[in-house]
Structure 1
Amino acid sequence: MADSLLAAQLFTLHPMKFGGIVLRGYGPVRDRLLDLMTAQLAKQGPVLRMPINVDTEQLLGGLDLTETLSRGRAVLRPGLLARAAGGVVIVSMAERIAPDIAAHLAQAMDHREVAVILLDDGIEVDEAPPAVLRERAAFHCDLTAVRTLDFELDGQEAPWRPARAPSKHQRQALAATAAALGIHSMRPVLMAEQSARASAALAEAGMVRTEDFETAIRLVLAPRATRRPEVAEPAPPPPAEPDQPGEDSGQSEEQRQQDVSLDDLLIEAAAASIPQHILDGIDRGTLRSAGGRTGSSGQKEKSSKRGRPLGSKPGIPGDGRKLALIDTLRAAAPWQGARRAGSGSKQTLHIRKSDLRIRHYEQRRESLTIFAVDASGSSALSRLAEAKGAVELMLAQAHVKRSQVALIAFRQSGSEILLPPTRSLTRARRALGALPGGGGTPLAAGLLEALMMADASSKRGQTPTIAILTDGKANVTLAGDADRSTAMREVSEVSKRVAATGHQSIVIDISPRPREEAAQLASELGGRYLALPRAGSAAMVDAIESVGEGARA
């Protein structure tokens, strides 16, 4: 909590220099910190809260409809960014902000017109504000584990007098630390330098000290880490030389500090200050330098009936298209004077066909993950158990991510749908209670069943992803005969049919040793190959969701 308070203090002292601050963790702790920050920031300039449903016109300004209609000429109205100029914008539920709104905010931050406080209410690690805003916000504070409300924000109102600029060597060490953490943008490095100078200024130091750099690393760089830094092993001390008469054998503290590389000191500090949830993400491989994942929801598509509002566009209402009345009036308002004069009519309002605007929306297609599991042979029980665990993990988030899951098992002479597409966890557990196993491997039959299910889901407007758990070897044909060569040829033919449809797919090879047949199957499917000889359910879900991202790209 001490680092979060220090970050909040530095931001409130000079918000424009630091661009923004991310406060993650919904609850009374964040509310209290936000109240304290708002009270300090209000002394410097306007502090406005941006609604979650703000549109471009509300943000940038536009036509004042009432004044335009009453005066007969265009009257402009300032937007939220103009009213907040020189101050701070508080963005609620920043993880849900639309990309176009985020881009306008980022541009205002680049020009130092506003600073932002991003309130991150995300629950999952991959739910985060847009990367363009996080990149420009110096401080990322995670308050989810903080339980105390017994804290205050230092109300120091000292003028901004940063310490002397760091030396070239110090800047190089800071950049090397950022690179060691997997940070490749220069913005965080520059922000870390500003934070170090501000920290030194708070301590009334004339120059930046090593502890100021360590503070800047904790506040700015460590929360952005995408990999663990490699800490150099300390070199063995040189053999001691015999003391000469009349010489002081004791080395001064200053000499000892000079012997230690500043790069190594800062990298060690960085390694020790990476937050635990960041380390967990690094170990799982779920962190990305360009922003968070969006889960397993399907592709975006335009709609005229439902979804997230995207504003309006010219068009004729009807056939499910709704009239955008206010936008229609805005389009017609500037022409009222000319139209009255041209028509000689005293009609209050003149509307033309070209003025009509209709609403349009964007909605995510529901996603469907189809597990096709090789239930043949001695390892069938372990494969089916892992698939069952992955199904239950995905269904636990089904309502949040608009996703369904299905399970197909292939064994003996054919395939069987054990679980039709569903998002019901109770139904899944009941259907998966007793899973069959053993027998031959009709891989082509399993692929064909998955293909038919994926085609059907696409026609229903879903985005399917096929996950195949197998070693890639087939020995049973589509006709149910034991013929290895024919079975492998049929697998190749069905795989090419799957690839032609464009369905996303992944082959998870969980045999004790990765097999060439499974890799070849993934290649023919046009999908991803992943060798997981000890695949856990969580690792399997991560791999499948990463493939689902390709469908949305």
Structure 2
Amino acid sequence: MNSADAADPLDEAVRAARLFALAPKLFGGMVLRGSSPARDALVAALGEAVTLRRMPGHIDDERLLGGIDLAASLAAGKPIRQKGLIEEAAEGVLIAAMAERMDGAIAGRLAQARDESQSALVLLDDAREADEAPPVSLTERLAFPCDLSASRRWEEVELAPAHGSLAAVAPLDDKALKAIAATAEMLGVDSIRAMIFAGEAARGLAALDGRDAVTEADLAGAVRLVLAPRATRLPPEEADDTEEPAPDDQQEPPPPPPEGSGDNAEERDDEQQDQQQQEPDLSELLVDAAKAAIPADLLAQLAQGKAPRRSGASGTGQKRKAATRGKPLGARPGMPRGGAKLALIDSLRAAVPWQQVRRREVDAGDDSPILMRREDLRIRRFEERAARVTIFAVDASGSAAAARLSEAKGAVELMLAQAYVTRSEVALVAFRGSTAELLLPPTRSLTRARRSLTELPGGGGTPLAMGLNAARECAEAVIARGRSAALVILTDGRANIAADGAPGRAQAREDAEAAARAIYACGIDALVVDISARPGPEGAALANAMGGRFLALPRADAKMLQAAINAAQPARAA
């Protein structure tokens, strides 16, 4: 636990909201994670401080960016332009609900508008899983990420009016800028935008208090609001700089003082030491402030070396374009054939601006019908998620076979229990001795899986290359049927059976590396999990060869294994 766990997250979110209301275009916006009464109260208070415009969840480019008002244009006989939502909210703030589901194309439009200072945003993040989040292209352009999931506050929120002005606050000096950069580096924050936001937030805090210069407390507050929620690692512990003195015969004598310096040199040294003791490093103060503001759950993840992976992936399978069903996307030019459907309204919008030119070309009157051309036609687009198949490749060899198989079977059953929600399937490959076998073809049937997993053989050598090749072939078959595949390999990576079934560690290691590189060449997502009591370097090397991730989980049970697999969903699934 940290020193700030007694404070409610809403307190820091209110400070961030006051800064945002002070200069919406400068700070860009806020990301409010966690549906709760506290978040509702904060949004209501923001609505009194700035003008909020709600953005529909399935907004299209025409409504967002503006374009031709079809009805008005048809009635007037000439193109009539309508404003887009970004232009309408130019003096206010756009608020987007369920931002974790925002389409990438819409996020790109908003990011461009943000770069041009056309809009400010408030993103409401209702994700329940740790790896779900709004698009990174947007969140890195917004100064304040606030997680209100753990807030227990119910009362109304008031944002005190800001009487100060950022223009009255002096810019940060080099010492403060270097301290912010050093703090960001120690927290693993590599975004230049985040450092700029932190500096402006420090000036904003000074402005809110009516001061014209930034203090250490302002810098610490800015680090807590901007950098701490973005931390991807814990800062290194302070090293013990006390060293044993060298033997007398190895110590170098101090250089003699210059003539005439005498007592003056000693006094200067004493003054410098006293000054260093009285003035601690500013970056150390800021790092301590950031560590105190990191949420307890994120702090635990960072302590275990697990950086948050906010990829926007839900683990439900890759997105793919579809012609007839799925989530509606914007229309695109094309012919309505091959199952594609005509987007009539979008086709008319494309044709209306050219009517006067086309009527002059054919000498037609203003009351003539709309003249359509091939290039006006638009077709509908949809997006659907492919079924996701998680393929377990389990090392069933040696003395650890019983433990690995037991935990793998438990994890398979747990993942199948949620298969209906995540639209996922599970397969199981086991390898031992001189064979690798697909014991459980892709399925979401829990009954079938339990029947197949009842008695699994164990013991013998480790034909790692055979197991990897069998898992890859299963994944390729899955992908060929239009689904997405991910490999989860439970092994310590210590192969001793070659791909041809012959014993020998050297050849077995080379064959395993070749099989791993084949998985990488196919672009298949992979995760290597070592649940042995003493994980070695072989598993990490195997994961590196296949371009996958590595997790060392000694003494992991089935539930821990399932949680680790869910948390490590590959980024390419987004």
Measured in 2, the distance between the counterparts of 1:40 and 1:489 equals: 64
Give 2:221's aligned amino acid.
Answer: T
CA 1:351–1:91 in structure 2 vs 1: closer, same or farther (change >3 Å)? Answer: same
TM-score with structure 2 length normalisation? 0.80
TM-score with structure 1 length normalisation? 0.83
The aligned residue for residue 64 of structure 2 is 59
1:131-530 equivalences in 2 (<5 Å): 131-160=136-165, 162-232=168-238, 258-287=278-307, 291-292=310-311, 294-340=313-359, 342=362, 344=364, 348-392=369-413, 394-395=415-416, 398-399=419-420, 401-411=422-432, 414-424=435-445, 428-429=449-450, 431-439=452-460, 446-447=467-468, 449-470=470-491, 471-473=493-495, 475=497, 483-484=502-503, 503-505=524-526, 508=529, 526=546, 528=548, 530=550
Q: Partner of 2:14: helix, strand, or coil?
A: helix
Once the 2 structures are TM-superposed, how far is the Cα of residue 116 of structure 1 from its aligned partner?
Answer: 0.9
Q: Give unmatched runs, 5+ long, in structure 1.
A: 237-250
The aligned residue for residue 27 of structure 2 is 18
Q: Give unmatched runs, 5+ long, in structure 2.
A: 1-9, 243-270
Measured in 1, the distance between the counterparts of 2:571 and 2:486 equals: 10
Which deviations, in whole Å up to 9, do the C-alpha atoms of 1:98-135 show, x marking residues without a partner?
A: 22222222232233322111111111122111222221
Give 2:379's aligned amino acid.
Answer: I
Q: Partner of 1:484: helix, strand, or coil?
A: coil
Equivalent of 2:43 in 34, 59, 62: 34
CA 1:529–1:160 in structure 2 vs 1: closer, same or farther (change >3 Å)? Answer: closer
State whether residues 232 and 264 of structure 1, in contact with CA within 8 Å, keep that contact through their aligned partners in structure 2.
no
Measured in 1, the distance between the counterparts of 2:276 and 2:481 equals: 71
CA 1:421–1:184 in structure 2 vs 1: closer, same or farther (change >3 Å)? Answer: same
Give 1:88's aligned amino acid.
Answer: V
1:96 aligned onto 2:101: yes
Measured in 2, the distance between the counterparts of 1:61 and 1:298 equals: 33
State whether residues 305 and 321 of structure 1, in contact with CA within 8 Å, keep that contact through their aligned partners in structure 2.
yes
Once the 2 structures are TM-superposed, how far is the Cα of residue 510 of structure 1 from its aligned partner?
Answer: 5.3
Percentage of pairs with the same residue: 44
Give 2:47's aligned amino acid.
Answer: T
Measured in 2, the distance between the counterparts of 1:356 and 1:295 equals: 35
Which deviations, in whole Å up to 9, do the C-alpha atoms of 1:188-221 show, x marking residues without a partner?
A: 2222222222222333334222222221111111
State whether residues 18 and 162 of structure 2, in contact with CA within 8 Å, keep that contact through their aligned partners in structure 1.
no
Once the 2 structures are TM-superposed, how far is the Cα of residue 25 of structure 1 from its aligned partner?
Answer: 0.6
Count, aligned residues: 527
State whether residues 231 and 264 of structure 1, in contact with CA within 8 Å, keep that contact through their aligned partners in structure 2.
no
Once the 2 structures are TM-superposed, how far is the Cα of residue 421 of structure 1 from its aligned partner?
Answer: 1.3
CA 1:444–1:190 in structure 2 vs 1: closer, same or farther (change >3 Å)? Answer: closer
Once the 2 structures are TM-superposed, how far is the Cα of residue 90 of structure 1 from its aligned partner?
Answer: 0.4
Once the 2 structures are TM-superposed, how far is the Cα of residue 31 of structure 1 from its aligned partner?
Answer: 1.3
Measured in 1, the distance between the counterparts of 2:357 and 2:98 equals: 44
> RMSD in angstroms over aligned alpha carbons?
3.7
The aligned residue for residue 241 of structure 1 is none
Measured in 1, the distance between the counterparts of 2:88 and 2:478 equals: 48
Q: Which segment is superposed worse, 177-186 or 469-478?
A: 469-478
Q: Partner of 2:124: helix, strand, or coil?
A: strand
Q: Partner of 2:18: helix, strand, or coil?
A: helix
Measured in 1, the distance between the counterparts of 2:141 and 2:133 equals: 14
Once the 2 structures are TM-superposed, how far is the Cα of residue 350 of structure 1 from its aligned partner?
Answer: 3.2
The aligned residue for residue 4 of structure 1 is 13
State whether residues 181 and 222 of structure 1, in contact with CA within 8 Å, keep that contact through their aligned partners in structure 2.
yes
Q: Partner of 1:164: helix, strand, or coil?
A: coil
Measured in 2, the distance between the counterparts of 1:333 and 1:361 equals: 25
Measured in 2, the distance between the counterparts of 1:405 and 1:81 equals: 44
